[in-house]
Amino acid sequence: MCGIIGYIGNRNAAPILLEGLKRLEYRGYDSSGIGLIKRKRLAVYKKEGKIAALERTLPKDISGKPGIAHTRWATHGQVNDINAHPHASFDNRVAVVHNGIIDNYAPIKHKLKQDGISFRSETDSEVIANLIARHYQDDPEVAVQNALRQLEGTYGLIVLFTDNPDLLIGARNGSPLIVGVGEKEMLLASDVSAMLAHTKQVFYIEDRETVVLQKDSYKTVNTENSVVDKTIEKIEWELDEIEKGDYHHFMLKEICEQPETIQRAYGGGGRLLPDFGTSKLGGLNLGKQDFFEIDSVITMGMGTAYYAAMIGSYLLEHMARLPCKAERASELRYRNAIVKKNMLFFAVSQSGETLDTLSAMREIQHRGGRVLGICNVVGSTIARESDGGVYIHAGPEIAVASTKAFTSQVTVFLLLAIMIGRMRDIPASLGKRYINELTTIPGKIAFILERKAEIEQLAEKYSKARSFLFLGRGVSYPVAMEGALKLKEVSYIHAEGFSAGDIKHGPIALVNEETPSLFIAVEGETFDKTLGNMEEIKARNGRIITITNSDNERIRELSDDIFVVPETNELLSPLLTVVPLQLFAYFIASILGKDVDQPRNLAKTVTVE
């Protein structure tokens, strides 16, 4: 989704902004642009397509400061050069990059047009530039604040003033905005990765705050124009974590990082209390007593985070004996949801910025509910606004298709389920078994990864299929959903995940020789039932690929192809069974020559509804 970056300081802004744009690429975009001030003149360059296309249009000796830049993910107006950002005002005194949607742009545009102002683009964002210019007498700050008062909607924006090259102004309502404090220079961006090469010292802008940056000072004010104190925090991520290293794609790099990221999620042991067969998690802001009072749990998220939330719900019900339900945040937000005192909500989000999840969290909080965040990005909005939570510490996830964040989210849910379960239902001996088993998972994933060539062969064999079914039961049902999501996201092949028990109630009509079914069949509660479902597919000449931890004759007879993952407890099995599915999606997409890390139409961080 759109990314923004601004720079003010002594250096030429152009290379800094270009590098920042490349760091923002992973969020997903369809055009990009740069605006700079050079000798009190505004220079704007923008181009449809990849940043490489923008670079080709730039003068070789491009320079200027300060500057702003943008990666656009079209919402209002087609993907073309004109609709790309920055947008300059009618008089070229103001230029704006904007992330978000201005809901009331149409009446404002109409009014400005009546006043004789002409527009170049079809975007809602151009309205912001013209509105600020309209208010701009001699004080940029006043102009921005007056304009913001008239805007309804979401924004993270950066404003450049042609005749005032000593400042940049940023404002936020609903879209992330972070200030990077450097040595006699300041950066402003929607994402810390855009500034990591220059500074690790940051502070976060909150909704309805405006920040005025000069190269060696900053001032943040709220809507009442009172100055807000900011605490500077240090970003923990390292630059090499946002680089591909020896890998062709971030997605493969991130899949292969999972032995370490899962270990980090259980704190390398620091979150485990093996002697008591339980875990300890700081940051929940809940006392022991609170856990006795909880009588139900709702987990929520979108996309992959939602499937992790489904597994979380399953684990909490099974281990902690709590009524649990997973919800898509976008649905929960607009339902007349029941919120009661003893309910506990979990908002699951890698980025911590997904607007559907953030809005659902705010709605629940507004109704008096307590929401804990399970986030990856430290300092993200969900992490800051939740009532407590757990970081998954997976490190930056750059590929649009989420992989390592999923297994880390599941790991954190396991810790929570074991912890609450131990207070309610689970004896120490069983808790110890879960904990011991969890510590063996990284090694088992490493073993799966060593065999990735086997998955690559499977991908070769099945890459011509036009449609896939992914099927699992119990805790493997969300894994099937996640496997299907991964495949469709990166390969654009149609794939649907179903509960295997549900196939005979409809989806079985899709089965034929051309539509392979991928089963996740794990020993445990529903293993035999899953084998029964495989029989049903086999009887209809469907091809079957099976991911299992049970290598026996019957399953081999039923399967056209099989990948056996190491033995583990059924409840922990998603951490293993999802890995071959991630690799399967990755290899098929690579074989088909797709843009694996930045699939078409998708965005990593979806900051619009």
Give the shortest CB-394-to-ligand G6P separation in angstroms: 11
Between residues 158 and 305, which has the closer beta carbon with respect to ligand G6P? 305
Among residues 208, 194, 181, 2, the alpha carbon closest in space to that of 98 is found at: 2
Residue least distant from ligand G6P (Cβ): 303
Q: Helix 476-491 crosses helix 574-591 at what angle (to 10 degrees)?
A: 20
Among residues 548, 596, 594, 541, the alpha carbon closest in space to that of 570 is found at: 548
Give the shortest CB-605-to-ligand G6P separation in angstroms: 6
Between residues 16 and 401, which has the closer beta carbon with respect to ligand G6P? 401
Q: Which two tokens stand for residue 445?
A: 């994933």
Among residues 44, 94, 89, the alpha carbon closest in space to that of 70 is found at: 44
Please give the Cα distance from 171 to 74 (Å, whole number). Answer: 21
Between residues 145 and 350, which has the closer beta carbon with respect to ligand G6P? 350
Catalytic: 2?
yes
Between residues 351 and 530, which has the closer beta carbon with respect to ligand G6P? 351
Annotated catalytic residue: which of 46, 215, 432, 604? 604
Residue 431 CB burial class (10 angstroms; 0-12, 13-18, ≥19): buried
Query: E strands of 289-331, at which residues?
Result: 296-301, 324-328
Determine if residue 422 is left, alpha or beta; phi over 0 gives left, psi from -120 to 50 gives alpha, anything else beta.
alpha
- DSSP assignments along 185-226, one per residue: EEEEESSGGGTTTT-SEEEEPPTTEEEEEETTEEEEE-TT--
Please say whether the beta carbons of 156 and 99 come within 8 A. Answer: yes
DSSP state of 509: G
Between residues 369 and 599, which has the closer beta carbon with respect to ligand G6P? 599
Which residues are near ligand G6P by CB under 6 A? 301-305, 349-351, 354, 357, 400-402, 602, 604-606
Annotated catalytic residue: which of 2, 256, 324, 375? 2
Cβ neighbors of 217 (< 8 A, separation 6 or more) are none
Between residues 32 and 402, which has the closer beta carbon with respect to ligand G6P? 402
What's the distance, Cα to Cα, between the start and end of the chain in Å? 11
Among residues 563, 565, 571, 558, the alpha carbon closest in space to that of 526 is found at: 571
Give the shortest CB-520-to-ligand G6P separation in angstroms: 19
Give the shortest CB-443-to-ligand G6P separation in angstroms: 27
Between residues 162 and 491, which has the closer beta carbon with respect to ligand G6P? 491
Query: E strands of 316-376, at which residues?
Result: 324-328, 343-349, 370-375
Catalytic: 604?
yes
Give the shortest CB-402-to-ligand G6P separation in angstroms: 4
Give the shortest CB-364-to-ligand G6P separation in angstroms: 16
Give the shortest CB-157-to-ligand G6P separation in angstroms: 21
Catalytic residue positions, numbered: 2, 604
